[in-house]
């Protein structure tokens, strides 16, 4: 992967001005969402409404640029756009983290930049959003949770953490966290396919996602744990019911097998030869931040 650095242009508005900019942003965003609610009516989401949404998103991007401030990213072409890319409640991506996104929608490497106040407000808005997969309300805990990344970033698949990558925290950062992960639409022994790095520094929050420079293959002993859960489920399918529905039983067995598989991978991954290269990659991303 081509290395990239982020050179931040110093732009530090007063706290009062920043709060005012954020209030104006929220007001504009919520007005646009209310206008888009007409799309829930039959035939409502037409070309005219799409044009309205495009203009509203462009306006929100400009407002967000004034809040976050400009950044120049080498290796990622184009200007940042709003990480919120839909205002229609019916879209799967509705309600993403308010911030700027660098990198095209289909880009392998993307950087989302937000602020601590926008981040905390987003967390409050997500309380009970998905009761079965609630995002922690503490910012540091959220940046370590699968639920946050699934709901805050681009994509139609669930985020799955595989192993934490140990990093040296820069002096001015209050929090850094990196992991090897994947995104999938179902649980199971999928190979990890992404590195995600999160940094809280000053009033800014950075989330970087990029392909790993090295591969850690799935360990047979870890896959065996998942296979054992699948076999158990097959055996239970032919037994009489013990009061629990088979659907609930299947979900529990699969969930337990998935958890065992991920615990096994996280324990063994640091011993793999390519683990050091992944740690170096993540540290390089951290060191490239302003």
Residue 44's pLDDT band (cuts 50, 70, 90): confident
Q: What is the mean pLDDT of the chain?
A: 87
188-222 pLDDT tens trace:
999 999 999 999 998 999 999 999 999 999 999 99
Distance CA 121, CA 137 (A): 10
**Amino acid 79: pLDDT:** 81
Residue 42's pLDDT band (cuts 50, 70, 90): confident
221-266 pLDDT tens trace:
999 999 999 888 877 766 656 666 767 778 888 999 999 999 999 9
- If DSSP codes are grouped into helix, strand and coil, which group holds residue 102? strand
Crossing angle of the two packed helices 15-36 and 47-68, in degrees rounded to 10: 170
Mean pLDDT lowest among 38-47, 160-169, 204-213: 38-47
Distance CA 20, CA 17 (A): 5
Distance CA 151, CA 154 (A): 8
Are the C-beta atoms of 150 and 158 separated by less than 8 Å? Answer: yes
112-155 pLDDT tens trace:
999 999 999 999 998 877 666 789 999 999 999 999 999 999 87
**Amino acid 131: pLDDT:** 64
**Amino acid 212: pLDDT:** 97
**Amino acid 74: pLDDT:** 63
pTM (2 d.p.): 0.87
Q: Rounded to the nearest 5°, which phi and psi values hold at 258?
A: -65, -40
């Amino acid at each position: 992967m081509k290395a990239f650095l982020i050179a931040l242009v110093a732009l530090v508005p007063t706290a009062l001005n920043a709060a005012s900019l954020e209030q104006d942003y929220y007001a504009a965003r919520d007005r646009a969402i209310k206008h888009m609610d007409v799309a829930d009516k039959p035939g409502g989401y037409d070309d005219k409404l799409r044009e309205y949404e495009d203009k509203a998103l462009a306006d929100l991007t400009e407002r967000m640029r004034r809040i976050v401030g400009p950044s120049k990213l080498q290796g990622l072409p184009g200007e940042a756009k709003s990480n919120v890319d839909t205002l229609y409640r019916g879209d799967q991506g509705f309600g993403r983290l308010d911030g700027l996104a660098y990198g095209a929608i289909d880009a392998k490497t993307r950087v989302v930049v937000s602020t601590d106040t926008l981040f905390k407000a987003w967390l409050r808005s997500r309380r009970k959003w998905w009761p079965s997969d609630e995002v922690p309300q503490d910012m540091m805990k959220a940046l370590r949770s699968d639920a946050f990344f699934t709901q805050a970033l681009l994509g139609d698949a669930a985020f799955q953490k595989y192993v934490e990558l140990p990093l040296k925290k820069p002096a001015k950062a209050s929090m850094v966290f990196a992991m090897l992960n994947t995104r999938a639409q179902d649980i199971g022994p999928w190979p990890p396919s992404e590195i995600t790095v999160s940094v809280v520094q000053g009033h800014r929050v950075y989330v970087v996602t990029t392909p790993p420079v090295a591969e850690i293959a799935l360990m047979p002993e870890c896959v065996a744990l998942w296979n054992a859960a699948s076999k158990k489920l097959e055996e239970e399918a032919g037994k009489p019911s013990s009061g629990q529905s088979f659907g609930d039983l299947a979900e529990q067995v699969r969930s337990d097998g998935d958890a065992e598989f991920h615990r096994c991978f996280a324990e063994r991954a640091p011993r793999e030869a390519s683990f050091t290269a992944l740690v170096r990659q993540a540290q390089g991303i951290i060191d490239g931040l302003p």
